[in-house]
């Protein structure tokens, strides 16, 4: 059965785009994760559709992956198909004051293109370590900006695997959520509507945001970015710090000493190390402040007891 499924993927994508038992630690910014049963890299919308169709026909679970930020994959890996939309689908084109980009385009690359064309409004996203697809799904944001502020429309595959273009007014974008996340759609591309501005002003704003990130975030260690969602009326990092958890460790995982809102992989941390640390942090903050921290990091795979 497994070889037959692999053969089907290879017929559509070519054997070089299909991997078996691929270590997910090579494809996540946490540098953590066991093997994916199938790991495939489509290059076109049609290939994405055909790949998902194979999954549906064979009742195999699948997961759409960008560059693996904001993700913790189980030490057991993933029993199913990882469909990576990244380097094979990362085209960026500029049309007057709009940027059209495929789901696999890095936010940093889009920000650089916007700068080169004198288009403002996307500076906030330049340092977010993710792809456009993932940013749309979770309405990524930083420094007062969010994806909903710059999106014009998004092209997705809906639950029937039909191509649909959704205007931002119908995207139901809120804090770390969207209709894409609610419905399980697959983002293929998006159009961003930006504003013409002085190139040097855009550059200075990007430089300011970069300096803030470098000074405050643990960019020298593997992590998945902000670990917890921001509780209403609070900041997760401050709650964790005030709970006395700066530097708290479980195995190779640690609450960053530089920014308590980040969990970092200091020494070959396992997914279970991270999971346990996050639970400990959530429990301690609840005990001390009666505020429950919710994960911003997505968990993928089997995290059952005994891992």
pLDDT exceeds cutoff 90 at 306: no
pLDDT at 14: 97
Asked if residues 25 and 66 have their Cβ atoms less than 8 Å apart, the reply is no
Model pLDDT for residues 52-70, shown as the tens digit of each residue: 999 999 999 999 999 999 9
Same domain, 39 and 122: no
Q: Are residues 196 and 99 in the same domain?
A: yes
Question: Which tokens belong to 49?
Answer: 């559709």
Q: How many CB atoms lie within 10 A of CB 299?
A: 15
Of the residues 37, 72, 87, the one at which a domain ends: 87
Q: Is 143 exposed, middle or buried (0-12, 13-18, 19+ CB in 10 A)?
A: middle
- Among 87, 119, 148, the domain-final residue is 87
Q: Looking at residue 282, which CATH number applies to its domain?
A: 3.90.78.10
SS (H, E, C) the chain: CHHHHHHHHHHHHCHHHEEEEEEHHHCCCCCCCCEEEEEECCCCHHHHHHHHHHHHHCCCCEEEECCCCCEEECCCCEEEEEEECCHHHCCEEEECCEEEEECCCEHHHHHHHHHHCCEECCHHHCCCCCEHHHHHHCCCEECCEEHHHCEEEEEEECCCCCEEEEEHHHCCCECCECHHHHHCCEEEEEEEECEECCHHHHHHHHHHHHHHHHHHCCCCCCEEEECECCCCCCCHHHHHHHCCCCCCEECCEEECCCCCCEEEECCCCCHHHHHHHHHHHHHHHHHHHCCCCCECCEEECCCCCCC
Residues 260, 170 share a domain: no
Residue 1: pLDDT band with limits 50, 70, 90:
confident
- Does the pLDDT value for residue 205 go beyond 60? yes
CA atoms within a 13 Å half-sphere pointing along the CA-CB vector of 100: 7
119-131 confidence digits (pLDDT tens): 999 999 999 999 9
Which among 87, 103, 125 is the end of a domain?
87
**Is residue 149 over pLDDT 80?**
yes
The pLDDT of residue 307 is above 70: no
> Structure pTM?
0.95
Residue 266 lies in a domain: yes
Tens of pLDDT, residue by residue over 77-112, are 999 999 999 999 999 999 999 999 999 999 999 999
Residue 29 has pLDDT above 70, yes or no: yes
Per the structure, the complete domain to which residue 106 belongs is given by 90-202
Domain containing residue 149: CATH number: 3.30.465.10
304 pLDDT band (50/70/90 cuts)? Answer: confident
Claim to verify: residue 8 and residue 45 sit in the same structural domain: yes
Domains in the chain: how many in total? Answer: 3
Q: Is residue 61 part of a domain?
A: yes
Q: In this predicted structure, what is the pLDDT of residue 305? A: 62
- Regarding whether 76 and 101 lie in a shared domain, the answer is no
Q: Which residues are catalytic?
A: 176, 226, 296
Residue 121 lies in a domain: yes
Residue 307 resides in a domain: no
Q: Is the pLDDT of residue 188 over 50?
A: yes
CATH of residue 24: 3.30.43.10
């Amino acid at each position: 059965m497994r070889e037959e499924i692999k053969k089907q993927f290879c017929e559509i994508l070519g054997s070089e785009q299909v991997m078996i038992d691929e270590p997910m630690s090579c494809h996540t910014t946490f540098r953590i994760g066991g093997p994916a049963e199938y790991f495939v890299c489509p290059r076109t919308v049609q290939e994405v559709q055909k790949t998902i169709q194979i999954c549906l026909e064979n009742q195999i679970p699948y997961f759409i992956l960008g560059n693996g930020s904001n993700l913790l994959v189980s030490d057991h890996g993933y029993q199913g198909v990882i469909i990576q939309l990244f380097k094979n689908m990362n085209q960026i084109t500029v049309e007057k004051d709009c940027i059209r980009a495929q789901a696999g385009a890095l936010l940093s690359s889009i920000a650089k293109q916007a700068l080169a064309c004198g288009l403002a409004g996307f500076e906030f996203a330049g340092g977010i370590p993710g792809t456009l697809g993932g940013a749309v799904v979770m309405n990524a944001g930083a420094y007062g900006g969010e994806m909903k502020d710059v999106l014009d429309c998004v092209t997705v595959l809906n639950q029937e695997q039909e191509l649909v273009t959704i205007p931002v007014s119908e995207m139901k974008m809120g804090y770390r959520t969207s209709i894409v996340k609610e419905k399980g759609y697959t983002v293929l591309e998006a159009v961003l509507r930006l504003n013409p501005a002085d190139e040097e002003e855009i550059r200075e704003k990007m430089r300011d945001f970069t300096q803030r990130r470098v000074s405050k975030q643990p960019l020298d260690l593997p992590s998945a970015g902000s670990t917890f969602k921001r509780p209403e009326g609070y900041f997760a990092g401050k709650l964790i710090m005030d709970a006395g958890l700066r530097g708290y460790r479980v195995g190779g995982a640690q609450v960053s000493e530089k920014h308590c809102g980040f969990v970092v992989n200091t020494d070959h941390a396992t997914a279970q190390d991270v999971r346990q640390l996050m639970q400990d942090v959530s429990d301690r903050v609840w005990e001390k402040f009666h505020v429950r921290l919710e994960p911003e990091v997505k968990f993928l795979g089997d995290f059952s007891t005994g891992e």
